[in-house]
Amino acid sequence: MYYIGVDLGTSACKFLLVDEAGQVCRELTREYPLSMPKTGWSEQDPALWWQACLSGIPALLEGFDAARVQGMGIGGQMHGLVALDGEGQVLRPAILWNDGRTAEQTEYLNTVIGKKELSRLTGNIAFAGFTAPKLLWMREQEPELFGRIAKILLPKDYLVWKLTGCFSTDYSDASGMLLLDVEHKCWSEEMCRICGVKPEWLAELHESWQEVSCLQPQAARALGLPEGVKVCAGAGDNAAAAIGTGTVGEGRCNISLGTSGTIFISRERFGVDEANGLHTFAHADGGWHLMGCMLSAASCNKWWMDEILKVSAADYPAEQAPIAREKLGRNSVYFLPYLMGERSPINDTNARGTLIGMSMNTTRADITQAVLEGVAFAIRDSFEAARSAGAVIPRSGLCGGGAKSPLWGTILANVLGIPLDLPVTEQGPGYGGALLAMVCCGRFASVREAADTLVHVSRTIQPDPELTARYEERYQKFRRIYPACKELFGALAD
């Protein structure tokens, strides 16, 4: 039997065909554009996601017996606001997770409603990328469209609706809306009142592995699949990636170097970061997790390579080749990776990317190295916030596009000072989606059983004590740069 895992990302949708032994039989990608109509804005047409499915899934199945596909699971970009009218038409382009337009609404929620009250109601404070501030922005700036809303969905739930005809979501993805009572896993009536959200707008809640429905006939025909294929609720991309890397149960950690960067710590019990630097969300295994999210991770390297150096993705390794091991921890250039503002742990939409420490001796390779190190240092910021919240992190998994760079993995392992385990299957969210589909279809009794059985480590990056010490000194300097620039960032934004 086969299972389809989908990773609905910001720049592309990735599809995996996985057999019951956990082997990836085929994988492919369909890319689509991102719209940034104003500085700090980030939007996408949901039709692009469905078009990617209509093209990608039939291609994925070529040469395979589609009748043997039993289930589908989707891991998707979180927080995006997809607003539908009563006819099921999209009212406006989806406002994405890395959109920074909601600074005023976020400030209102955190100061007028108050961080303490938000944490009591939802387990989290407001961040600009969350869905609730987007709804407040839409109510204030686009009242006519807001008045026509009949349903609000998250990106992956839009695909589930197109597949099944059902309006559903899962607890992990819903946790990032700031409308869910995360501890009790139910919609918060008070937060809905604050944001002007009607209860009938909200999707039905599920655990990630639970079946939403089978494919509706029209979708099955379009995709070349039988109508009996089960579609599970799926998960937010980080929770799905955690499943795909075996980060389940108590105290496991995974770091993702994707478009965004995350540090994800699984927990069996609900608990809030009292400093409000990290998110407390439900996990796709039925528990909870702490998560720190930086808005620009591998996208920083992509920006530097594509937009500034004008090199192709195939040339990325060549750009990193001059960065010899003896240069690590000795670079005089620092980079703040806040190209889209920042979430964890500083929660500052005004923060911007910054290069500092350059001289006439600075080389192209020095700046490339600074970009990689700046992302690693920013992940360290969330790592320290997690440790301050009581998390013990002796080692971590590592996944995402950035994990394919041996140099970047070495830098990160030594900046954090812990071993990093790379999984055999690198497609974290898509593979996690496939594992959730297996549980949905009864292949495994639990998410934990599926992960323990099928997820294996391909190699481990060990930190070097001397290099870790050098990076410790550099990190202590790095962490002084943002506080020195914070007031200036605000003035520049004004």
Q: Are strands 168-170 and 82-84 parallel, antiparallel or unpaired?
A: unpaired
Q: Quick one: which of 306, 286, 308 has its CA closest to 233?
A: 286
**Catalytically annotated residue among 157, 173, 237, 285:** 237
The whole-angstrom separation of Cα 122 and Cα 175 is 8
End-to-end Cα distance, the chain: 57
- 78 among annotated binding-site residues: yes
Amino acid at 388: S
The whole-angstrom separation of Cα 438 and Cα 436 is 5
* 348 has catalytic annotation: no
The whole-angstrom separation of Cα 61 and Cα 199 is 39
Q: Which residue has the tokens 């559903």?
A: 168
Residue 472: CA atoms inside 13 Å, Cβ hemisphere, count?
9
- 289 among annotated binding-site residues: no
Q: Determine the distance from the C-alpha atom of residue 193 to the mean position of all C-alpha atoms in its chain, rounded to a whole number.
A: 27
The whole-angstrom separation of Cα 315 and Cα 322 is 13
DSSP one-letter code for 111: I
Are 411 and 373 spatial neighbours (Cβ–Cβ below 8 Å)?
Answer: yes
Burial 223-259 (b: 16+ CB within 10 A, else e): bebeeebbbbbbbbbbbbbbbbbbbbbeebbbbbbbb
For helices 465-478 and 364-388, the axis angle rounded to 10 degrees is 90
The whole-angstrom separation of Cα 75 and Cα 14 is 10
Three-state secondary structure call for residue 289: strand
Are 403 and 409 spatial neighbours (Cβ–Cβ below 8 Å)?
Answer: yes
Q: Quick one: which of 68, 62, 58, 63 has its CA closest to 221?
A: 58
By residue count, the chain amounts to 494
Q: Quick one: which of 223, 250, 294, 305 has its CA closest to 50?
A: 223
The whole-angstrom separation of Cα 103 and Cα 350 is 8
- Please report, in range form, the residues annotated as the binding site for substrate: 78-79
Catalytic residue ranges: 237
- Please report, in range form, the residues annotated as the binding site: 78-79
